Structure 1
Amino acid sequence: MKFGEIFLEYRQAEEGSDKFCPHVEYKRLKKVLKSCRACKAAALKESDSNGQRHDDHQTSPTCQLESCQLCDQNFFSELKKEASDIACCFSSRVRRLLQLHSAPGIQRYLVTLCQCFKNDQLAMMQKCQILIEYAMMNVIAMQKILKKYDKVHCSVNGRNFKSKMRAEHLEILQSPWLIKLGALYLNFNESNGGTSTEIFSQFSCNLSDTGSIMTLIFPDSVKLEYDLTCPICLDTVFNPYALGCGHPFCKSCACTAASVMIFQGIKAASDVSKCPVCREVGTYANAVNMMELDLLQKKRFKQYWKERHASE
């Protein structure tokens, strides 16, 4: 089955739920690209009229973004809005899930009671699966539609657009919330005795003590390797925080770099404080506390965690 059909079935199943979530309008964007083929055909016709010869082994004229008015207005602008809405929706849904997971016992009990006494952990894992599938399907849809754009126009504008999304933090695969979700899954797996459930049969997450790399593997060869080495102390991040740009640091290291005391917290940093890695301004205000990752390290590497805790 082609991805377009798979994505359509997924969208139809999502529409049956009671919560709306933005998605990549894959089918509509494919229609835009189909219309854009006329742009390419016109360019070929114009070249032929000027006496230029084209054959099967010769590269077709490139239709650049600046000269493709249809794509400029209807493709990239729409795709950027969709990417922004998807990233915002994903982070807010993960945030709510993690808040529920770390909520006081009585609050979680009341939520569980409202769910008609469903297994609390099972319900959490099912929500994790839904969010992972949401991220996975939209990431693949985004990659495929951009690849198709470049194929239709014989350009690299789709690839450049993807790089621009990463620079503007609209790429879900670079989101610290995905790492938090992966750590939450591993913590659930630890509590189940280390046996993966069928719910996560399509999602593999592995944290290694060698190289401090967390690997998230999705279907269709989508893979993310997240380096958990603090760029300042060059050790595995401890009490980790990810700045708004996505770079992870130990809390103490990030506070030192921003010239604030640890008890004040990372978000007490000045608005002009820069990320020590990418030098982007204002990333401390949107820092994310990676509590699930810290808990995972405490479970998996107890001795290392105790030593770091003592030194801190």
Structure 2
Amino acid sequence: MKFGETFTEYLQAHQERFIEESTHVEYKRLKKVLKSCRRCRDHKDSSENNGEDDALPLCCQYESCPLCDQKFFSELTKEVSDIAGCFSSRVRRLFNLQDHGMKRYITSFCRCFTSPHNGKAQECQMLVEYVMMNAVAMRKILKKYDKVHSSDNGRKFKSKMRSEHMEILQSPWLIELGAFFINRSESNNEKLDELLNPFSCDLSSSDPVMTLTLPDNMKLEYSLTCAICLELVFKPYALGCGHLFCKLCACSAASVMIFQGLKAADSDSRCPACREAGVYGNAVHMMELSLLLKKHCKEYWNERSVSERAEMVKQSKIYWDLQSKYMIGY
């Protein structure tokens, strides 16, 4: 079955449950635009051979094809931004990261009476499908755009999405969802089915990764190595730019103490990997990933816990010594 038909069936199946609240890639309509543009270009080639130029549509008299550019890149930018925003907000809500205090307690209490099939697990499944189907639709339509126009504008647009953190396949939330799937399967003694759980994890190699298998069998790997200490991430945090670090390493890079947390970092502090500023304020603790690593790497986790506690005691002593000197005045 062609992807266009698969994508249409997906939208129809989830129209009432999920898609009606969310944006999706207008794959079918944009494909019709490209098909029309291809006919225009074929007509242009034949007209040039016959010396006829006046009969050409305006959109295809130029190499840049302004009509296609307007329909694609302005519209796709909005769609990609809306999809990324919807995905992020729903994952945060799913893991109670937007709730605080009593509201968070009530939400957690209500979930105790929710069936796993109809609750969190089903929502996770729908979110992963939402990301994968829209990501494949985006990749295929941009590839078709480049093929029709003999350009690399589609590839440049994908690079722009990554630089602006709108590429949902690069979102650290996918790692958190993948960790949730694996943790849930192991706790229920379920066999991992690639159709229901597209995530797999290899923590035994020198470069630990989590792998996501897309519907067209394309595989994406997410590194679980901290770029600072070059070891498996410990108590991982995802910065606003999407990069993963150990909490201790991220705090050191931001020049804050462990017990202060990443929220205490200056607004101009930069990511150690991409050097983007202002990424510590919205850093998120990857709790499901922490649970997964703690279960599978117990010895490593205990060693890092001991070293982190020692470092925290050391930093606390330095901090309170400075506070005492400041209060006393010497």
Cα distance in 1 for residues equivalent to 2:61 and 2:88: 33
How many residues were matched structurally? 296
> What is the deviation of 1:148?
0.8
- Relative to 1, partners in 2 of residues 1:298 and 1:34: Cα closer, same or farther, differing over 3 Å? same
Matched, 1:243 2:239: yes
The residue identity in structure 1 corresponding to 2:126 is I
The residue identity in structure 1 corresponding to 2:85 is C
The residue identity in structure 2 corresponding to 1:213 is V
Does the aligned pair in 2 maintain the 1:65–1:157 contact within 8 Å?
no
Matched, 1:80 2:77: yes
Which of 57, 65, 69 is equivalent to 1:68?
65
Does the aligned pair in 1 maintain the 2:213–2:220 contact within 8 Å?
yes
Cα distance in 2 for residues equivalent to 1:271 and 1:66: 44
- SS of 2:125's equivalent in the other structure is helix
The residue identity in structure 2 corresponding to 1:14 is H
Does the aligned pair in 2 maintain the 1:215–1:224 contact within 8 Å?
yes
Cα distance in 1 for residues equivalent to 2:79 and 2:109: 36
Cα distance in 1 for residues equivalent to 2:61 and 2:146: 10
The residue identity in structure 2 corresponding to 1:20 is E
Matched, 1:187 2:183: yes
> What is the deviation of 1:34?
2.1
Cα distance in 2 for residues equivalent to 1:239 and 1:221: 31
- The match for 1:215 is 211
- The match for 2:9 is 9
After superposition, what is the alpha-carbon deviation per residue over 1:123-165, rounded to whole angstroms, capped at 9, x for unaligned? 3222211111111110111111011101111111111111111
| TM-score after normalising by structure 1 | 0.86
- Unaligned regions of 5+ residues in structure 1, if any? 52-62
- The match for 1:96 is 93
The residue identity in structure 2 corresponding to 1:11 is L
Cα distance in 2 for residues equivalent to 1:66 and 1:154: 9
| Superposition RMSD in Å | 2.7
Does the aligned pair in 2 maintain the 1:213–1:227 contact within 8 Å?
yes
- Unaligned regions of 5+ residues in structure 2, if any? 53-59, 309-330
- The match for 2:201 is 206
> What is the deviation of 1:214?
1.4
Cα distance in 2 for residues equivalent to 1:42 and 1:183: 52
After superposition, what is the alpha-carbon deviation per residue over 1:40-63, rounded to whole angstroms, capped at 9, x for unaligned? 236535753679xxxxxxxxxxx8
Cα distance in 2 for residues equivalent to 1:65 and 1:175: 37
Does the aligned pair in 1 maintain the 2:182–2:199 contact within 8 Å?
no
- SS of 2:237's equivalent in the other structure is strand
- Relative to 1, partners in 2 of residues 1:34 and 1:264: Cα closer, same or farther, differing over 3 Å? same
- SS of 1:145's equivalent in the other structure is helix
Matched, 1:24 2:25: yes
1:228-239 matches, within 5 Å, as 228-239=224-235
- The match for 1:305 is 301
Moved over 6 A (4+): 63-66, 102-106
- SS of 1:295's equivalent in the other structure is helix
- Relative to 1, partners in 2 of residues 1:204 and 1:178: Cα closer, same or farther, differing over 3 Å? closer
- Relative to 1, partners in 2 of residues 1:75 and 1:285: Cα closer, same or farther, differing over 3 Å? same
- Relative to 1, partners in 2 of residues 1:108 and 1:283: Cα closer, same or farther, differing over 3 Å? closer
1:27-176 matches, within 5 Å, as 27-41=28-42, 43-45=44-46, 47-48=48-49, 67-99=64-96, 107-113=107-113, 118-120=114-116, 123-176=119-172
Q: Which has the larger radius of gyration?
A: 2
After superposition, what is the alpha-carbon deviation per residue over 1:230-261, rounded to whole angstroms, capped at 9, x for unaligned? 11111111111111111111111111111111
- SS of 1:264's equivalent in the other structure is coil
- Relative to 1, partners in 2 of residues 1:123 and 1:15: Cα closer, same or farther, differing over 3 Å? same
Cα distance in 2 for residues equivalent to 1:30 and 1:24: 11
Cα distance in 1 for residues equivalent to 2:260 and 2:105: 27
- SS of 2:119's equivalent in the other structure is helix
- Relative to 1, partners in 2 of residues 1:66 and 1:112: Cα closer, same or farther, differing over 3 Å? farther
The residue identity in structure 1 corresponding to 2:32 is K
Cα distance in 2 for residues equivalent to 1:65 and 1:298: 58
After superposition, what is the alpha-carbon deviation per residue over 1:6-43, rounded to whole angstroms, capped at 9, x for unaligned? 11111112222265111001111112212322552365
- Relative to 1, partners in 2 of residues 1:50 and 1:272: Cα closer, same or farther, differing over 3 Å? farther
- SS of 1:152's equivalent in the other structure is helix
After superposition, what is the alpha-carbon deviation per residue over 1:55-100, rounded to whole angstroms, capped at 9, x for unaligned? xxxxxxxx89972110221111101110110011111111111128
After superposition, what is the alpha-carbon deviation per residue over 1:156-185, rounded to whole angstroms, capped at 9, x for unaligned? 111111111111111111001111100111
